[in-house]
């Protein structure tokens, strides 16, 4: 049986904001691209994120996905296949020959793109790896009780709860909420000695949303340091300190208390405290993509010391964009997609020139 | 407290002592303090605080503090530490320095004396050995020699054997 | 040539001079507050009142510090000197007259004004996209790095610069008018003659500024991080040399400065018998490698001292520091032998940016708005790179230049939005559109309103504000909108309702709800807008007149509008009308603004359902 054949100047693996932005920027540059998304739907993580606006936009960037999806759907240079996985890749001539395999669960959804139906061989001159980063699985930090203690959620779950309206006057109405920062970040014992950049920002923003939805609620922010999450940070921080309780300590554990989770933490000069909360949110960090090694093998992509993919030192014609290359916010991932687009476009241009000249 | 009057070398000294290597990595997150069972019973016992004093170079204060002898060596602090400080062992290093400088508390001295005498904390008597014999177990010997060697009261056995008679 | 008028601002040195006499002596007319073609103003641009600057938007203007020119002496002499200076300036203003019309096609050339990595990256990217590029740099050559740049990266990039980049040394941008596809630009190397460029990148060379508390510090004790030579520090044989690194205890410092401070602390801590104390409020370790550096510093023996913001006390020029150690609850004191100060990258904001020519104050031109990420400004075709964007991690500066250049290329080559239609015979020359347009499209060119060929995004702000119905992007004028509204509402069953939905927020939410099979109330007319800025009082009232019981405008949350204030404008109009609704027998909620993000489908569905129910019960 012979595979279906496809030719594309640039192949983009991953249809999150970084991959979509790379495709849109390539189209702006007049270069066609094909996006291959593993899941049935485009959008990556951002598709589960809530809007974090209160009185004004909180600049979380989540809504920009909508803009990108509309652009990607309308630009004729962009082809999108969902539910597709690259299973083999070989350098061929100046570019790559990639085997794509359809994944189960692909239905034609409302968004742009259609599912890949058959095994396909794709020839391309450049590859952009925009497969995103892995959000830390909080089960890896057993002592925080995720999956064992009722009322403990990861921040990803909170994003989904907020966007579905599960939290608020009509849903869950926790009186006391705790955010525990740096879960799976800044942690040498896990071999994850990096700050994830995004979690201070998303946690403070979601904390503010909770305070707005439930003005009676009390929000506690267990942290070590607050990272800046945008230009407005300096102005906002004093205000946030009034709205929430900032506790500069990492809790020792989260246990099942009397019907609700209890957080054990210590303040300087005081004995350790066990405090009950109705909702404990673990601010999970961003790590290297799960399949980094598989992709590394597939395309020989280089990795940095933390395991993130990198363009530097990798094979010619393979570029990396977005959170796959290191912790990045949505806006930063989009802009980074623009860099990969520029690099891929100049490679395509120089190959074309070489062929004709 | 004036930092100029402290001993910045103390943290390096502790780090150079076996077990003390991790001390400087501490970033003061307080996870250990939250979980330490001794701290749960003694408000003045706080691993993070002891680390802080060491890092600040308050050498005399740390070495002469009765608190450093309270650790139960449960290893909980090392278990939860995100920076792999291994405070239990750090504290052992600090205690070793303290003991060398004569800061060991009376209880530690009594412990050492008992060990030197008996080779173990509890004396083994005929009572125990009779019981063991009933169960078909060999008797326990009092072998204080090893501890005497460790405590520097006599040369180690191997070395002693090589000594010319 | 344009007629030049004298705009008299009575600065202190001019009090005794009669403006009319000066104007007469210079052979020009004195401004009476009416419409101008070109002007000489008797003060500097910075000193001029804001209303005046606004009035002169888009006109050729010579700014003249007249008081300095006339000096002292008898009044008659001063009058004569004033007349001479003014008439000379009038010559300049007249020469500076704009080209009478924009070229019909967008200019493809790109100006990059500045130096350093950001400027080179922008020039490289624009050239790679096939645009002729002029790189106007204040230095001898483009290789000169900004103080905040990595010199190696700069020379590497400079070596790769393609030939179609024309370098203009010792040149600075002094003035700019127009919009995408047709900026008129004045360069210091080009005298009074403006040149036309399709797009402009601003990249003034970055500088390093001390980013933390410096008040009262003795300079003899201090050394900024960038000037630190660790070799100079060594402790005495029998003791320690204490060095304090101040890394942001007064107010937050961008994280890159923190990394640089960490690097400095690390280098110092590795010197013999040097004890480093790093004082900070938040450890800003989010930059790549920041956390590892933070740990390396601790391992090397740097003492980390977290200080409550604003609680570091500095005495004797910084020879005595004191703060509360939050871990011990004790006051700590330190008498450092030296203080190392963290720095942050800044770029001087070009002075002319605040002037009349761009209308918008800086915060509106460069709002902290997620839709204008990556160096875009609210003015189409104008982009920022380099230190103007603050400090950025890793290759982020390069990435921003790449992404801005792609957007620029699309604007100059792939325009799909046609130019606004201006009906000269209706136009009252009030310049409202010039002041209102967030994207810098319309400009007053002597006799009528013209639009820059690629600047308009069809937001409709001009159409909403123009008092004479003289300007609107095609399809967005009152007659067209009223008739389609009429058509839609005529077909809708009672209760009739209109949802005006902005293309960036309301419409995507509508689209994803529709795609999920959401059932809209039968009487709801969904009217897509490019931007909520198009909402005018007339449009709101027309909806009611045509039978709508409810009008809902779904636009972006404040701070998220691509046209910066389109949502605010719509909100303000709704608020101002809400008082009059009772007179029409309508409840106050008959007209509402719903701030929405594209992903807030649930909120939109709920709002529309509640609105339909209330309207049905009436
Ligand atoms: C809890 C949480 C909250 C966050 N909140 C915010 C926030 O509020 N604001 C913000 O700016 N950032 C936030 N972030 C960060 C944000 O998630 C990332 O910046 C962003 O998702 C990165 O985009 P991306 O396109 O690089 O990756 P992703 O969004 O992860 O997209 C990667 C895509 O690639 C696909 N893929 C993976 N492997 C393959 C493969 N082998 N082949 C094909 N396709 C593949 C995935 O299915 C996915 O669709 C948050 C992160 C977390 C964990
Ligand atoms: S950027 Fe975030 S907070 Fe702002 S409107 Fe969009 S989703 Fe809401
Ligand atoms: S962003 Fe904040 S929560 Fe996330 S790893 Fe960094 S410091 Fe921790
Ligand atoms: S090992 Fe010692 S310091 Fe650590 S938790 Fe146990 S008792 Fe506390
Ligand atoms: S848990 Fe580790 S890093 Fe945290 S305070 Fe204790 S020793 Fe320091
Ligand atoms: S429609 Fe908007 S962008 Fe176009 S000219 Fe009018 S105000 Fe400017
Ligand atoms: S088009 Fe309208 S807003 Fe613009 S100047 Fe003419 S009348 Fe004024």
Check whether C100 has a pLDDT greater than 60. no
The pLDDT tens digits for C196-227 are 999 999 998 888 888 656 678 899 999 999 99
Check whether C428 has a pLDDT greater than 90. no
Cβ-proximal residues to C594 (8 Å cutoff; 6+ apart), any chain: C506, C552, C553, C554, C555, C603, C604, C607
Average pLDDT over every residue of C102-122: 90
Q: Tell me which residue in B34, B40, B43 faces A251 most closely, judged by beta carbons.
A: B34
pLDDT score at C144: 79
CA–centroid distance, A193 to ligand 5, in Å, is 15
Structure confidence at residue B160 as a pLDDT band (50, 70, 90)? very low
Looking from the CA of residue A181, the nearest atom of ligand 3 is 3
The pLDDT tens digits for C16-41 are 899 999 999 988 999 988 778 888 99
Q: What percent of chain C has pLDDT over 70?
A: 93
CB contact under 8 A, B8 and C240: yes
Q: So where are chain C's domains?
A: 4-94, 110-206+347-413, 219-344, 478-617
Check whether A165 has a pLDDT greater than 80. yes
Top residue of A252, A253, A285 to mutate, by most chain B CBs within 10 Å, is A252
Q: For chain A, what is the largest distance between any 2 Cα atoms, rounded to a whole number of angstroms?
A: 76
CB contact under 8 A, B49 and C328: yes
The residue to mutate among B19, B22, B38, having the most atoms of ligand 4 within 8 angstroms of its beta carbon, is B38
Q: Tell me which residue in B27, B30, B82 faces A266 most closely, judged by beta carbons.
A: B30
CB contact under 8 A, B24 and C298: yes
Top residue of C239, C244, C275, C296 to mutate, by most chain B CBs within 10 Å, is C275
d(CA A29, CA A21): 12
Check whether C354 has a pLDDT greater than 60. no
Class of the domain covering C478-617: alpha beta
- The DSSP letter of residue C293 is H
Contact A211, B106 (CB under 8 A): no
pLDDT score at A106: 62
Check whether C143 has a pLDDT greater than 80. no
Ligand nearest to the CA of residue B40, numbered in listed order? 4
d(CA A336, CA C374): 9
Q: What percent of chain C has pLDDT over 90?
A: 55
pLDDT score at B162: 42
Cβ-proximal residues to B12 (8 Å cutoff; 6+ apart), any chain: B24, C301
Structure confidence at residue B74 as a pLDDT band (50, 70, 90)? very high
Q: Which of C333, C282, C274 is nearest to C307 (CA)?
A: C282
> Does the CB of B40 have a partner CB in chain A at under 8 Å?
yes
The pLDDT tens digits for C260-278 are 999 999 999 999 999 999 9
Around ligand 3, the residues with Cβ closer than 6 Å are: A 181-182, 185-186, 195-197, 199-200, 225, 227, 283, 285; C 286
| Cβ burial A238-256 (10 Å sphere, 16+ → b, else e) | eebeebbebbbbbbbbbbe
Q: Which of B164, B33, B25 is nearest to B85 (CA)?
A: B25
Check whether B35 has a pLDDT greater than 70. yes
Q: Which of A25-29, C192-196, C213-217 has the lowest mean pLDDT?
A: C213-217
Token code pair at residue C84: 């001479």
Average pLDDT over every residue of A30-51: 94
Q: Which domains does chain B have, with CATH numbers?
A: 3-100 (1.10.1060.10), 106-150 (no CATH)
> What does C187-242 look like in DSSP terms, one character per residue?
EGGGTT--EEESEEEEEPPPEEEE-S--TT--GGGEEEGGG--GGG----TTS-EE
A296 in contact with ligand 1, CB cutoff 6 A: no
Looking from the CA of residue A18, the nearest atom of ligand 1 is 25
- The DSSP letter of residue A43 is B
Q: CB atoms < 10 A from the CB of C412, how many?
A: 25
Q: Which of A28-32, A71-75, C102-106, C117-121 has the lowest mean pLDDT?
A: C102-106
Looking from the CA of residue C471, the nearest atom of ligand 7 is 1
The pLDDT tens digits for C431-440 are 889 888 888 8
Q: Write down which chains contact chain C via at least 3 CB pairs under 8 A.
A: A, B
A19 in contact with ligand 1, CB cutoff 6 A: yes
Average pLDDT over every residue of C480-506: 95
Class of the domain covering C110-206+347-413: alpha beta
CB contact under 8 A, B52 and C299: no
Q: Which residues of B touch A190 (CB under 8 A)?
A: 82
Structure confidence at residue C356 as a pLDDT band (50, 70, 90)? very low
Structure confidence at residue C142 as a pLDDT band (50, 70, 90)? confident
Topology adopted by domain A136-286: FAD/NAD(P)-binding domain (3.50.50)
Ligand 1: residue whose CA is nearest its atom 5: A202
CA–centroid distance, C599 to ligand 2, in Å, is 9
pLDDT score at C373: 83
d(CA C173, CA C74): 38
Q: Which of A229-243, B33-47, B82-96, C529-543 has the lowest mean pLDDT?
A: A229-243
DSSP bridge pairs for C46: none
B74 or C253: whose pLDDT is higher? B74
Task: Give the right CATH number for A4-133+288-355 from 1.10.238.10, 3.40.630.30, 1.10.287.470, 3.50.50.60.
Answer: 3.50.50.60
Looking from the CA of residue B78, the nearest atom of ligand 4 is 4
Q: Strand order of the sheet with strand C199-203?
A: C165-168, C133-136, C110-114, C199-203, C382-384
The residue to mutate among C432, C450, C469, C477, having the most atoms of ligand 7 within 8 angstroms of its beta carbon, is C432
Q: Which residues of A touch C405 (CB under 8 A)?
A: 342
pLDDT score at A314: 86
Q: Tell me which residue in C128, C283, C508 faces A346 most closely, judged by beta carbons.
A: C128
Q: Which of C112, C123, C109 is nearest to C182 (CA)?
A: C109
The pLDDT tens digits for A92-116 are 989 999 999 998 876 666 667 888 9
Top residue of B24, B28, B30 to mutate, by most chain A CBs within 10 Å, is B30
Structure confidence at residue B158 as a pLDDT band (50, 70, 90)? low
Q: Which residues of C touch B11 (CB under 8 A)?
A: 301
pLDDT score at C374: 84
Average pLDDT over every residue of C457-486: 94
User: Does this chain's domain C219-344 share its CATH topology with C478-617?
Assistant: no
A58 → chain C, closest CA residue: C559
Structure confidence at residue B163 as a pLDDT band (50, 70, 90)? very low
A174 in contact with ligand 1, CB cutoff 6 A: no
Average pLDDT of chain A to the nearest whole number: 92
d(CA A230, CA A221): 19
Contact C388, C118 (CB under 8 A): yes
d(CA C417, CA C454): 8
The pLDDT tens digits for A316-348 are 999 999 999 999 999 999 999 999 999 999 999
d(CA C352, CA C62): 13
Ranges of CATH 3.50.50.60 domains, chain A = 4-133+288-355, 136-286
Structure confidence at residue B165 as a pLDDT band (50, 70, 90)? very low
Q: Which residues of B touch C306 (CB under 8 A)?
A: 28
d(CA C254, CA C345): 9
CB contact under 8 A, B39 and A190: no
C421 in contact with ligand 7, CB cutoff 6 A: no
Mind telling me how many Å the CA of A258 is from chain C's nearest CA? 31
Q: Which residues of C touch B52 (CB under 8 A)?
A: 325, 327-328
Structure confidence at residue A281 as a pLDDT band (50, 70, 90)? very high
pLDDT score at C250: 75
d(CA C478, CA C432): 17
Average pLDDT over every residue of B136-143: 86
Number of CB pairs < 8 Å for A and B?
Answer: 65
CB contact under 8 A, A252 and B35: yes
CB contact under 8 A, B12 and C294: no
CA angle B128-B133-B134, nearest 5°?
Answer: 100
On the CB side of B91, CA atoms within 13 Å amount to 24
Q: Tell me which residue in B3, B52, B55 faces C334 most closely, judged by beta carbons.
A: B3
- The DSSP letter of residue B139 is P
Mind telling me how many Å the CA of A196 is from chain C's nearest CA? 7
pLDDT score at A8: 96
pLDDT score at C360: 62
* R_g of chain B, CA atoms, integer Å: 20
Alpha-carbon distances, residue C100 vs C2, C60, C103, C451, C482 (angstroms): 10, 12, 9, 12, 34
Q: Which residues of B touch A224 (CB under 8 A)?
A: 27, 29
CA–centroid distance, B33 to ligand 6, in Å, is 61
Check whether C98 has a pLDDT greater than 70. no
Q: Which of A190-199, C105-114, C366-375 has the lowest mean pLDDT?
A: C366-375
The residue to mutate among B20, B34, B47, having the most atoms of ligand 5 within 8 angstroms of its beta carbon, is B47
> Does the CB of B26 have a partner CB in chain A at under 8 Å?
no
Report the complex ipTM. Answer: 0.95
Around ligand 2, the residues with Cβ closer than 6 Å are: A 51-53, 57-63; C 370, 557, 560, 597, 599
Q: Which residues of B touch C233 (CB under 8 A)?
A: none
> What does A4-40 look like in DSSP terms, one character per residue?
EEEEEEEEEE--BHHHHHHHHHHHHTT--EEEE-SSS
Check whether B14 has a pLDDT greater than 60. yes
Average pLDDT over every residue of A215-221: 97
pLDDT score at C50: 76
Q: Does an H or E element contain C499, and which? A: strand C497-502
pLDDT score at A105: 73
- The model's pTM: 0.90
* C interface with B, Cβ–Cβ below 8 Å: 240, 242, 275, 277, 283, 294-295, 298-301, 303-304, 306, 325, 327-328, 330-335
d(CA C33, CA C23): 15
Topology adopted by domain C219-344: FAD/NAD(P)-binding domain (3.50.50)
Q: Which residues of A touch B48 (CB under 8 A)?
A: 266, 268
Ligand nearest to the CA of residue A208, numbered in listed order? 2
């Amino acid at each position: 049986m012979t595979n279906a054949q496809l030719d594309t100047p640039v192949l983009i693996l991953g249809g999150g904001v970084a991959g979509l932005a790379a495709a849109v920027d390539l189209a702006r540059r007049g270069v066609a691209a094909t996006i291959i998304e593993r899941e049935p739907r485009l959008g990556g993580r951002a598709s589960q994120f809530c809007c974090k606006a209160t009185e004004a936009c909180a600049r979380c960037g989540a809504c920009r996905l909508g803009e990108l999806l509309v652009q990607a759907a309308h630009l004729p240079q962009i082809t999108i296949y969902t539910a597709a996985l690259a299973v083999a890749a070989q350098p061929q001539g100046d570019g790559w020959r990639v085997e794509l395999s359809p994944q189960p669960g692909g239905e034609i959804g409302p968004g742009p793109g259609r599912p890949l139906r058959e095994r396909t061989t794709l020839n391309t001159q450049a590859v952009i790896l925009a497969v995103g980063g892995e959000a830390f699985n909080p089960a890896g930090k057993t002592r925080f009780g995720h999956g064992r203690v009722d009322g403990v959620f990861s921040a990803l779950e909170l994003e989904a709860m907020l966007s579905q309206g599960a939290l608020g006057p009509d849903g869950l109405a926790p009186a006391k909420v705790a955010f525990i920062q740096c879960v799976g970040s800044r942690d040498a014992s896990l071999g994850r000695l990096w700050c994830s950049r995004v979690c201070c920002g998303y946690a403070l923003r979601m904390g503010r949303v909770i305070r707005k939805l439930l003005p009676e609620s009390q929000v506690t922010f267990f942290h070590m340091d607050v990272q800046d999450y945008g230009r407005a940070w300096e102005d906002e921080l004093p205000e946030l300190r009034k709205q929430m309780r900032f506790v500069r300590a990492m809790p020792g554990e989260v246990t099942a208390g009397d019907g609700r989770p209890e957080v054990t933490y210590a303040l300087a000069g005081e004995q350790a405290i066990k405090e009950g909360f109705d909702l404990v949110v673990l601010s999970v960090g961003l790590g290297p993509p799960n399949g980094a090694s598989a992709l590394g093998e597939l395309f020989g992509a280089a990795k940095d010391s933390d395991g993130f993919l990198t363009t530097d030192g990798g094979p010619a014609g393979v570029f990396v964009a977005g959170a796959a290359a290191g912790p990045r916010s949505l806006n930063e991932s989009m802009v980074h997609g623009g860099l990969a687009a520029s690099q891929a476009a100049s490679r395509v241009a120089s190959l074309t020139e070489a062929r004709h000249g | 407290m004036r930092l100029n009057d402290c001993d910045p070398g103390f943290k390096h000294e502790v780090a150079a002592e076996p077990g003390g290597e991790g001390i400087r990595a501490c970033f003061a997150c307080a996870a250990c303090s939250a979980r330490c069972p001794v701290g749960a019973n003694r408000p003045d016992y706080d691993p993070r605080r002891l680390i802080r004093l060491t890092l600040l170079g308050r050498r005399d204060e740390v070495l002469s503090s009765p608190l450093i002898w309270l650790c139960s060596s449960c290893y909980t602090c090392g278990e939860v530490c995100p920076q792999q400080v291994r405070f239990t062992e750090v504290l052992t290093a600090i205690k070793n320095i303290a003991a060398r400088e004569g800061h060991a508390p009376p209880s530690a001295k009594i412990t050492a004396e008992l060990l030197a005498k008996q080779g173990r904390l509890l004396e083994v008597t005929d009572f125990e050995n009779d019981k063991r014999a009933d169960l078909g177990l060999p008797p326990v010997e009092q072998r204080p020699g090893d501890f005497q060697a460790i405590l520097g009261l006599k040369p180690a056995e191997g070395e002693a054997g090589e000594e010319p008679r | 040539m344009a007629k030049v008028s004298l705009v008299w601002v009575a600065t202190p040195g001019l009090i005794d001079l009669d403006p009319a006499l000066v104007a007469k002596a210079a052979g020009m007319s004195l401004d009476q507050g009416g419409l101008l073609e070109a002007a000489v103003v008797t003060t500097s641009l910075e000193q001029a009142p804001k209303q005046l600057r606004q009035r002169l938007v888009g006109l050729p203007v010579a700014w003249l510090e007249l008081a300095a020119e006339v000096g002292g002496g008898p009044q008659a002499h001063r009058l004569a000197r004033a007349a001479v200076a003014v008439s000379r300036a009038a010559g300049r203003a007249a020469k500076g007259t704009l080209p009478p019309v924009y070229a019909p096609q967008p200019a493809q050339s790109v100006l990059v004004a500045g130096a350093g990595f950001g400027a080179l990256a922008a020039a490289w990217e624009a050239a790679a996209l096939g645009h002729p590029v002029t790189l106007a740099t204040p230095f001898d050559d483009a290789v000169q790095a900004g103080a905040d740049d990595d010199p190696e990266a700069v020379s590497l990039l400079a070596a790769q610069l393609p030939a179609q980049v024309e370098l203009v040394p010792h040149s600075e941008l002094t003035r700019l008018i127009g919009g995408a596809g047709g900026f008129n630009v004045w360069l210091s190397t080009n005298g009074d003659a403006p040149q036309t460029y399709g797009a402009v990148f601003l990249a003034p060379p970055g500088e390093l500024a001390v980013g933390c508390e410096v008040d009262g510090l003795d300079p003899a004790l201090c050394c900024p991080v960038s000037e630190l030579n660790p070799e100079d520090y060594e402790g005495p044989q029998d003791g320690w040399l204490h060095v304090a690194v101040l890394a942001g205890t007064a107010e937050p410092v961008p994280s890159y400065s923190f990394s640089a401070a960490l690097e400095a602390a690390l280098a110092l801590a590795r010197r013999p018998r040097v004890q480093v104390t790093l004082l900070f409020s938040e450890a800003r370790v989010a930059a790549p490698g920041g956390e590892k550096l933070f740990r390396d510093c601790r391992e090397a023996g740097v003492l980390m001292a977290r200080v409550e913001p604003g609680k570091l006390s500095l005495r004797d020029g910084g020879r005595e520091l004191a703060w509360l150690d939050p871990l011990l609850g004790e006051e700590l004191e330190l008498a450092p032998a030296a203080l190392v100060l963290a720095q942050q990258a800044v770029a001087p904001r070009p002075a002319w940016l605040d002037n009349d020519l761009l209308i918008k104050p800086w915060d509106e031109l460069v709002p902290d708005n997620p839709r204008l990420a990556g160096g875009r400004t609210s003015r189409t075709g104008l982009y920022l790179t380099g230190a103007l964007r603050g400090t950025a991690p890793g290759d982020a500066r390069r990435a921003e230049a790449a992404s801005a250049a792609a957007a620029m290329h699309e604007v100059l080559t792939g325009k799909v939005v046609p130019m606004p239609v201006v009906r000269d015979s209706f136009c009252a020359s009030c310049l409202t559109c010039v002041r209102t347009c967030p994207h810098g499209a319309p400009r007053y060119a002597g006799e009528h309103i013209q639009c820059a060929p690629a600047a308009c995004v069809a937001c409709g702000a001009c159409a909403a504000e123009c008092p004479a119905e003289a300007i609107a992007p095609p399809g967005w004028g009152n007659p067209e909108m009223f008739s389609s509204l009429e058509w839609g509402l005529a077909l809708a069953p009672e209760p009739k309702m209109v949802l005006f939905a902005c293309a960036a927020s309301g419409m995507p939410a509508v689209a994803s709800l529709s795609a999920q099979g959401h059932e809209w109330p039968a009487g709801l007319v969904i009217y897509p807008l490019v931007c909520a800025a198009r909402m005018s009082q007339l449009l709101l009232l027309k909806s009611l007149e045509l039978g709508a019981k409810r009008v809902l405008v779904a636009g972006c949350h404040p701070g998220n509008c691509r046209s910066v204030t389109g949502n605010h404008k719509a909100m303000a109009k709704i608020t101002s009308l809400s008082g009059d609704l009772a007179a029409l027998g309508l409840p106050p909620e008959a007209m509402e603004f719903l701030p929405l993000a594209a992903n807030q489908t649930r909120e939109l569905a709920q709002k529309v359902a509640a609105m339909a129910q209330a309207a049905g019960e009436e």
